[in-house]
Structure 1
Amino acid sequence: MGSVHSGEITVAYEDEGSGEPLVLIHGHPFNRSMWRPQIDHFSRAGWRVITPDLRGYGDSTVVPGKTPLETYVRDIAGLLDHLGIERFVLGGLSMGGQIVMEFHRLLPDRIRAVVLADTFAPADTDEGRAVRHRTAARLLRDGMDGYAREVLPKMISPGTIARQPAVAEHVLGMMRSTSPEGAAAALYGRAERPDYTGLLPRIAVPAWVVVGAEDAFTPVADARLIQESIPGASLTVVQDAGHMPNLEHPDVFNAGLARFLESLHETAS
């Protein structure tokens, strides 16, 4: 594990392997450990895999209040500057995918390709913003435990919970250990994010979209909208998986990501 000071905060991260950089951004309310199956696989397959903890999560500094997606982008860019990395493949799941879209909005020239996992592009509706605000207030008032247990069956599929208790414990543990202040700040900031649907047709780099077939938060229709809007994008639907196919079926997820990364080399040649 490494860490770097970025402005007023410290960003913790993993940096494993060597070769071309693959940067993976975790979702809410998780941390970089959600990418462990991908770190292990791709760091041995010729990629330098970098997985930061977003501010407010994991071992990074908690900053109460409101954290816009642009702030996460600036933190990540600062980390990559520190590591001397200019261009990279950038992937993210759920909120992490929205951070990828925000990164492309702000700093498109730094991105070689994008991976958008279990995410969605439109801005929140009025009701969606209200739900995020209510959830943030609940986390600040009551902590993470009740919320984590309540949403676990949506984060991963019921089948995963039954067949893979270790995965369920990992996901539950990530959520329960997250700072309520950090999670609430993300919810308040995310409620104000822009609508990225107009951005998607302007993404001119290769894109892989992936989603769990049983995702209750960002269903297949959301992924299909993204895939159909980005020129040349491909879509993989992972069967028997919910919102976290990278953990629920890592072999399937890794195989799809490997094919996508190999296609980048074919395009370059």
Structure 2
Amino acid sequence: MSAVKLNDITISYDDIGHGEDVLVLLHGHPFDRSMWRPQCDALGGKRWRLIVPDLRGYGESTVTPSTTTLDMLAHDVAALLDHLGIDAAVIGGLSMGGQIVMAFCHLYPQRVRGVVLAATFPQAETDDGKQVRNTMADRLLRDGMEGYAAEVLPRMVAPRTLAARPDIAAHVLGMMRGAHPIGAAAALRGRAERPCYDAVLSALPVPALIVVGDEDAFTTRADAERMHTLITGSTLVWMPGVGHMPNLEHADAFNAALESFLLTFGSAPT
């Protein structure tokens, strides 16, 4: 684990491998960088260098109050890449992490070699959704993460995962319980303000991998097809029996799709 102060906060991150080709992986809410452990184990030491941060407000990074927008999180990622001397990368994310990827593509299109969008969607938040997110933020600040984590676990992973893989369920539950309520609440308020990213996706000139589970309680088949249609030449992987955490619930299939996607890239530009 490494840490660096940037944008007036400290970002903790893993920097794995030494290849010229860089893959950045961004976790979802309310998780931390440990959710990408199976991908780090599978790709570590191979051609790709992996940069896996704890986002502002999560894990071992600085917790900031009030509102943390997707743009703020994208700026943090850019600052981390600057610190590491990385001009461009393939950037991937799950759920909120995928929406940060979209924000990054909007703000820093020249730094994006490709994208991985897992269990996410590009639509702006609805009025009802804004109210729900802000109400939940108030609840987390008042009551903490414990009740929320237990309540939402059955929506984060598929029923068969809960039954057959208690280790995965425990990992997901532990990340949620361990999240700081101030950081989680700030991110919820920020996501309530998110714009529609359809135009960003339709303008993407780079390869894209989209991965969605067919038992995802948050991302629908229509969402997946929407992104696939918007991004010319994208690859859509639909994973049966998988919920909102495809990289953990079916790590072997996810890793195979990711490695196949990464094989399409030539060496990083010099």
By the TM > 0.5 criterion, same fold?
A: yes
CA distance in 2, matches of 1:25, 1:219: 21
Q: Percent identity?
A: 57
The residue number in structure 1 matching 2:122 is 121
5+ long unaligned stretches in structure 2? none
For residues 74-130 of structure 1, the C-alpha deviation after alignment (integer angstroms, 9 at most, x for no partner) is: 111111111111111000000000000000000000000000000010101100111
The residue number in structure 2 matching 1:111 is 112
Q: List aligned pairs for 1:109-258, cutoff 5 A.
A: 109-258=110-259
Secondary structure of residue in 2 paired with 1:264 = coil
Give the superposition deviation at 1:132. Answer: 0.4
**Runs ≥4 in structure 1, deviation > 3 angstroms?**
none
TM-score (norm: length of structure 2): 0.97
Give the superposition deviation at 1:255. Answer: 0.2
For residues 115-171 of structure 1, the C-alpha deviation after alignment (integer angstroms, 9 at most, x for no partner) is: 000001010110011110111011001100100011101101011011000000000
**One-letter amino acid of the structure 1 residue matched with residue 26 of structure 2:** I
CA distance in 1, matches of 2:141, 2:112: 35
CA distance in 1, matches of 2:181, 2:109: 32
Q: Given that residues 133 and 188 in structure 1 are in contact (C-alpha distance below 8 angstroms), is that contact kept between their aligned partners in structure 2?
A: yes
Q: Given that residues 64 and 181 in structure 1 are in contact (C-alpha distance below 8 angstroms), is that contact kept between their aligned partners in structure 2?
A: yes
For residues 168-203 of structure 1, the C-alpha deviation after alignment (integer angstroms, 9 at most, x for no partner) is: 000000000000000000000111011111221101
CA distance in 2, matches of 1:260, 1:97: 17
Q: Given that residues 22 and 48 in structure 1 are in contact (C-alpha distance below 8 angstroms), is that contact kept between their aligned partners in structure 2?
A: yes
The residue number in structure 1 matching 2:31 is 30
The residue number in structure 1 matching 2:95 is 94
Q: Given that residues 157 and 242 in structure 1 are in contact (C-alpha distance below 8 angstroms), is that contact kept between their aligned partners in structure 2?
A: yes
Secondary structure of residue in 2 paired with 1:41 = helix
CA distance in 2, matches of 1:199, 1:75: 19
Secondary structure of residue in 2 paired with 1:124 = coil
CA distance in 1, matches of 2:87, 2:199: 26
**One-letter amino acid of the structure 2 residue matched with residue 193 of structure 1:** R
Q: Given that residues 118 and 243 in structure 1 are in contact (C-alpha distance below 8 angstroms), is that contact kept between their aligned partners in structure 2?
A: yes
CA distance in 2, matches of 1:113, 1:91: 8
CA distance in 1, matches of 2:154, 2:117: 22
Give the superposition deviation at 1:219. Answer: 1.6
5+ long unaligned stretches in structure 1? none
TM-score (norm: length of structure 1): 0.97
Count of paired positions? 267
For residues 248-269 of structure 1, the C-alpha deviation after alignment (integer angstroms, 9 at most, x for no partner) is: 0100000001111111239x9x
Secondary structure of residue in 2 paired with 1:162 = helix
Q: Given that residues 18 and 43 in structure 1 are in contact (C-alpha distance below 8 angstroms), is that contact kept between their aligned partners in structure 2?
A: no
Secondary structure of residue in 1 paired with 2:149 = helix
CA distance in 2, matches of 1:168, 1:228: 33
CA distance in 2, matches of 1:265, 1:213: 32
Give the superposition deviation at 1:44. Answer: 2.8
The residue number in structure 2 matching 1:4 is 4
CA distance in 2, matches of 1:76, 1:198: 21
Q: Given that residues 91 and 116 in structure 1 are in contact (C-alpha distance below 8 angstroms), is that contact kept between their aligned partners in structure 2?
A: yes
What value does the CA root-mean-square deviation take over the aligned residues?
1.1
